[in-house]
Amino acid sequence: MANLIAVEVVTPEETVWTGFAEIVIARGADGELGVLRLHAPLITYLMDGPLLIRHPENGDVIINARRGFLEVKPERVTVLASEATVATPER
């Protein structure tokens, strides 16, 4: 798991998803954002819409998130959303 980044998606009520990803793709305030391990730290407003969490062995997880923030650190991505649900990826 040397190239994976830790990911946590939380709402005020619960932890929606936690695990590791090869890349996290989200829509931030300035457009679509792809986050890999060792990404520069940042905090941005999270736009409503899908959040893609890609794991090389376990496949994709898609989370529908609303109103929140995305915090990126070199080894971790934290999504703080007012609402979030895990969606079934289309195949």
β-strands 59-73, 76-87 pairing: antiparallel
Exposed, middle or buried by CB within 10 Å (0-12, 13-18, 19+), for 7? buried
For the chain, the structural domain boundaries read 5-87
pLDDT digits (tens, 9 = 90+) for 17-75: 999 999 999 998 889 999 999 999 999 999 999 999 998 888 899 999 999 999 999 99
The pTM for the full model equals 0.89
Task: Give the homologous superfamily in CATH for domain 5-87.
Answer: F0F1 ATP synthase delta/epsilon subunit, N-terminal (2.60.15.10)
- pLDDT score, position 73: 96
